[in-house]
Each structure stands twice: as structure tokens, then as C-alpha cells.
Amino acid sequence: MDGIELGRGLRARRKAAGRTIASVAMDAGLSVPYIANLENGRGNPTMAALHQLAGALGARLELALIDESGGGGAGARVGGGGGGGTGAPVPAEFADRLLRSPRARKVTQRLAAKHRLDVALVRERLRGALVALGPVLGGEPGERDLDRLLDLLLLSGTDLGDAD
């Protein structure tokens, strides 16, 4: 997304909400000229500023890296694993396949060491979480869903020793 496209999106969202630049600026803790420049396709906003703007506009900021070949890649939708929307539990074999990725292996080992748990136990708990995500997502979770789950566990400090 370039600056002009971002600016158009910000302006459209602000106007759809019936808000002035000043009211959004006050809620976001940013200056009126800063937001006006962004809406006009100028400036180089920080992630923090975009996050503040999204909050002020009642939105959520999402960042995606899109595969230029058009094959979806990292920009695929959440739940884009292709389960067909059945809401059925994810087959354990599918979860196992996701957990064989290099990142999943690395994070599993890191979590096991951090919580002083057996790697197999952490892997089994991750497998259970992926299986349980199927009905929530309406299909099989994809790699992005796994990455988000791993990020959540790394960032949250959740005690993986607590089961059930």
C-alpha cells in the first residue's frame, strides 16, 4: 500500500464515521497537520501512529506481506487453510504437518526450555490447540494461524505447565 492509498483509506474511514480530522487527532494523540498530511498521501507514518489512528477510528491495524506473484503467500486470510467452512475438528495429521515446520520446531523447543517441560508435551499441547482451532476458524488452520498461535505463546508468557 502506498501513501496515497493509505491516505484515501484513512480519509474514507474518518468521513464514514462522521469525524473531523481534529477529533481523530485528539483521540489518537496526534497533530491535525500530521493526519492531514497522511490523508493527502504525504508523510511516513510510524507503526505506532498507524496503530493510534486505527484505535481512534474504531479499527484494528493489520500488517501483511503479500506475495508479489499473486499466490497468496504471507498475506492470506486468517483461517485460509482451506477447510471449506465445515466447522469440523481439524484432523490431528494436519496439525502434525503444520508442527513440522522449522519455525514450529524452534518455538516448541524454546517454549519447552522456558517452561522446563518436555518438548513432546509442548508439541502435544500445540497439536491440541490447532485441532481445537478448526471449529473456531470454520476449517483447517493455516501457517499464518500457527504463526499467530506461536507468537501469542511467546509474547504472553502463558505458563504451559498448566493443563486442563
Between residues 53 and 59, the one the model is more confident about: 53
Residue recorded with cell 514450529: 104
Say how far apart CA 50 and CA 69 lie, in whole Å: 27
Residues with Cβ within 8 Å of residue 111, at least 6 apart in sequence: 117, 122, 153, 154, 160
Q: Using CB atoms within 10 A of its CB, is residue 95 exposed (0-12), middle (13-18) or buried (19+)?
A: buried
Q: Residue 46: is its pLDDT beyond 60?
A: yes
Q: Can you tell me the mean pLDDT for 112-119?
A: 89
Question: Are 61 and 50 within 8 A, CB to CB?
Answer: yes
Provide the pLDDT confidence category of residue 80 given band limits of 50, 70 and 90.
Answer: very low
Higher pLDDT, 71 or 121: 121
pTM: 0.44
- Closest by Cα among 117, 110, 124, 102 to 155: 110
Tell whether the model's pLDDT for residue 32 goes beyond 90: yes
Spatial distance between the Cα atoms of 159 and 49, rounded to a whole number of angstroms: 32
